[in-house]
């Protein structure tokens, strides 16, 4: 593996040196012109020279480079390369692990499981950012996460101190938005339809306000603007209407195969008031019912194992009209505003606070739920609903419960190797 580990009096052959020249110039640094410590020479044969990257001997009369580049320049480029990083395994990864542990140990739903968090490796991220593989290692040691991990060795008073390894996992900003389920830019644009100005930065500031004063959301001007936006949308009848006689809706829950008794109807509803834990869609103790219009989507949504039976409740709307806030109103491709995967977690998550507030506003204004596109299953097209403000057996009823044994098909697919493999470099 051709690797450049440092740029301090580093000798590189012409080919490897050109890789450095082109990459740094992409970020505005013409090294040979700007830095006297960076020079291009012709090998005079007085002493033997070897390239620090490819280990090839530099021949007499061949051109080669000597580079000395300060850490401040490499740090600046690493910051720009890392602009799309939203978190790392030490901050975002820890949050997700806490969520998974809480969900998988929920005393109110012991059968449902959530998969372990997966990010992308530093090497994969650098590859996506068009960093030459020869520069992976040096960029890796200079990249720093917003949590402060990276670039510097750990100190006793700095929990997050440390230097990234190419195998370490990070999460992009887009991945974090999709996972936690709120797109600030899209909502900012949505508010403009109703003559409300809510800047993206104001939404971030409002989230900070909620983390300190969650019960005083409407004391913040952005909170009031969000409420007015949702109210104007409702008054303009921008909602979707679900009516009596609509096609069937479904909710599924898993139970162990050795549990012979199917779940009863009362167990298919959301937990009663006071029991639900803090989730994306609800504050502590507030129930929300998740249903879908596609029976076949249930296994993709609840992730059964080969030891599970799925009990699926068949729901029918009995109320004349249910008013639903359609997430497509402000982002046609928006997927994760409310995510049932986070249901009934034990932890109070700061990431939930803004969606919690918007869901509470919708409930207070008069909406009966949230509509959003399902994203699981490559060949499925379906719609999910997060329903609140409804009365069981009055606004919606369960017709019956059907039990299913999921069948799994295993398909082997070879993973394409990235240009850089840390395993190849270590063994």
pLDDT tens track for 308-365: 999 999 999 999 999 998 876 665 443 333 333 333 343 456 666 777 787 789 889 9
**Lowest mean pLDDT, pick from 94-98, 217-221, 246-250, 401-405:** 94-98
Share of the chain above pLDDT 70, in %: 80
Token pair recorded at residue 187: 């909502």
CA distances in angstroms from 198 to 181, 206, 335, 406, listed in the order given: 18, 10, 21, 46
Q: How confident is the model at residue 160 (pLDDT cuts 50, 70, 90)?
A: low
Tell me the pLDDT of the chain averaged across its residues.
82
What are the residue boundaries of the structural domains of the chain, listed by start? 10-69, 75-179, 184-427
pLDDT, residue 421, reads: 41
Name the residue with tokens 């006297």.
36
CA proximity to 334, closest of 142, 169, 164, 190:
190
Residue 166 has pLDDT above 90, yes or no: yes
The alpha carbon dihedral of 355, 334, 115, 129 has a sign of negative
Residue 67 DSSP SS3: strand
Is the CB of residue 308 less than 8 Å from the CB of residue 253? no
Q: What average pLDDT does the segment 291-306 reach? A: 87
Question: What's the rounded mean pLDDT across residues 206-216?
Answer: 84
Percent of the chain whose pLDDT exceeds 90? 41
| pTM of the full structure | 0.55
| 322, 393 Cβ separation under 8 angstroms | no
Structure tokens, 16: 């490897």
Instruction: Please report the beta strands in 115-232, taking only residues with DSSP state E, as ranges in sequence order.
Output: 120-121, 169-172
In sequence order, what DSSP letters do the residues of 284-336 get, joined into one string?
Answer: TT---EEEES-GGGHHHHH---TTEEEEEEEEEE-SSEEEEEEGGGT-TT---
Do the strands 10-13 and 63-67 form a parallel or antiparallel pair, or are they unpaired? antiparallel
Residue 427 has pLDDT above 90, yes or no: no
Residues 28-55 have pLDDT tens digits of 999 999 999 999 999 998 889 999 999 9
């Amino acid at each position: 593996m051709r690797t450049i580990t440092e740029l301090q009096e580093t000798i590189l052959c012409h080919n490897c040196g050109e890789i450095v020249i082109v990459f740094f110039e992409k970020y505005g640094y013409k090294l040979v012109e700007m830095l006297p410590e960076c020079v291009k020479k012709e090998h005079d044969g007085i002493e033997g020279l070897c390239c620090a990257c490819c280990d090839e001997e530099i021949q007499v009369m061949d051109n080669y480079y000597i580079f000395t580049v300060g850490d401040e320049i490499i740090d600046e480029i690493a910051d720009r390369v890392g602009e799309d990083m939203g978190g790392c395994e030490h901050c975002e990864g820890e949050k997700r692990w806490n969520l998974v542990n809480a969900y998988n140990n929920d005393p109110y739903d012991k059968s449902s499981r959530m998969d372990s968090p997966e990010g992308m490796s530093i090497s994969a991220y650098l590859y996506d950012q068009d960093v030459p593989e020869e520069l992976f290692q040096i960029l890796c040691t200079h990249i720093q996460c917003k949590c402060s991990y990276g670039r510097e060795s750990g100190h006793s008073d700095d929990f997050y101190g440390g230097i990234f390894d190419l195998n370490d996992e990070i999460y992009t900003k887009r991945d974090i938005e999709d996972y936690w389920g709120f797109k600030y830019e899209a909502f900012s644009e949505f508010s403009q339809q109703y003559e409300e100005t809510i800047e993206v930065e104001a939404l971030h500031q409002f989230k900070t306000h909620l983390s300190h004063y969650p019960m005083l959301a409407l004391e913040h001007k952005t909170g009031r603007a969000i409420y007015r936006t949702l109210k104007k949308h409702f008054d303009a009848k921008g909602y979707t209407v679900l009516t009596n006689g609509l096609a069937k809706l479904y909710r599924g829950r898993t139970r162990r195969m050795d549990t012979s008794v199917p779940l009863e109807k009362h167990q298919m509803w959301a937990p009663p008031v006071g029991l639900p834990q803090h989730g994306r869609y609800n504050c502590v103790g507030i129930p929300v019912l998740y249903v879908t219009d596609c029976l076949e989507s249930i296994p993709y949504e609840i992730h059964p194992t080969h030891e599970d039976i799925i009990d699926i409740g068949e729901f029918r709307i009995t109320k004349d009209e249910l008013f639903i806030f359609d997430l497509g109103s402000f982002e046609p491709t928006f997927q994760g505003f409310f995510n049932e995967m986070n249901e009934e977690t034990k932890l109070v998550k700061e990431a939930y606070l803004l969606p919690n507030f918007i869901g509470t506003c919708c409930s207070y204004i008069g909406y009966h739920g949230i509509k959003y596109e399902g994203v699981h299953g490559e060949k499925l097209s379906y719609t999910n609903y997060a329903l609140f403000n409804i009365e069981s057996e009055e606004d919606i009823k369960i017709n019956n419960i059907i039990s299913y044994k999921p069948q799994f098909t295993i398909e082997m697919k070879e993973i394409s190797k990235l240009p850089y493999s840390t395993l190849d470099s270590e063994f």
